[in-house]
Structure 1
Amino acid sequence: MLLIHCPYCDELLPEAEFAYAGEAHIVRPENPSDVSDEEWEKFLFIRANVKGLHFERWRHVHGCGRFFNAVRDTVSDKILITYKAGEPKPDLEKLLAELDR
């Protein structure tokens, strides 16, 4: 079972408490009507499909209801860290160095 830490509730809970909400840090175009069809398609549908560390967005649907971000290793399915929405991406090199300690 995948356990996920909600950074708002500060609890480690089963995955069933949460809903996956896609790739994190996707920026919506400021003026969607000014964007070409190809750019709009990329915004809506094209996402990274990395093997390794991936920035994801989750929602604590059976708790506080808030969205937050996570760094998950797609190979091991382990979540390395969660952080509140709006916070900057963690530095992966620094994160990995701290985990190696």
Structure 2
Amino acid sequence: MMLIPCPWCGPRDETEFHYGGQAGVAYPADPHALSDADWSRFLFYRANPKGVFAERWMHQVGCRRWFTLHRDTATNEIHPAARTVTT
């Protein structure tokens, strides 16, 4: 079991959270100009590294806020110095 540090509620069990995927994926500037292949890449293609990775999480059972944290995908170690609070 992983303890995820919610910036507002403190450390909580991973079962209280919803994983939101890779952080920092920008919405297309002109979505109407995208081809089907471009939409496919935007919606479904994400990095899957072994190592530290920026992720979006939502504390669904607590404050219901989204935040970004950096987690090592090989060890599940969370890097609290790299956490970014977003609203």
Structure 2 counterpart of 1:61, one-letter code: Q
SS at the partner of 2:8?
coil
Supply the RMSD in Å over aligned alpha carbons: 1.2
SS at the partner of 1:54?
strand
Select the structure that is richer in strand: 2
Determine if the alignment matches structure 1 residue 2 to structure 2 residue 2: yes
**TM-score with structure 1 setting the length:** 0.78
For structure 2, the residue ranges without an aligned partner over 5 or more in a row are: none
Q: Residues of 1 paired with 2:44 and 2:85: CA distance?
A: 24
SS at the partner of 1:41?
helix
Structure 2 counterpart of 1:84, one-letter code: V
Contact 1:70 1:79 in 2 (8 A): yes
Cα distance, 1:85 vs. partner?
Answer: 2.1
- Alignment size in residue pairs: 85
SS at the partner of 1:47?
coil
SS at the partner of 1:8?
coil
Spell out structure 1 runs of 4+ moving beyond 2 A.
none
For structure 1, the residue ranges without an aligned partner over 5 or more in a row are: 87-101
How do 1:78-89 residues align onto structure 2 when only pairs under 5 Å count?
78-81=77-80, 82-85=83-86
Q: Residues of 2 paired with 1:30 and 1:7: CA distance?
A: 30
% identical equivalent positions: 44
Q: Deviations over 1:10-58 (max 9, x none)?
A: x111101111111111001122111122211111000001010111000
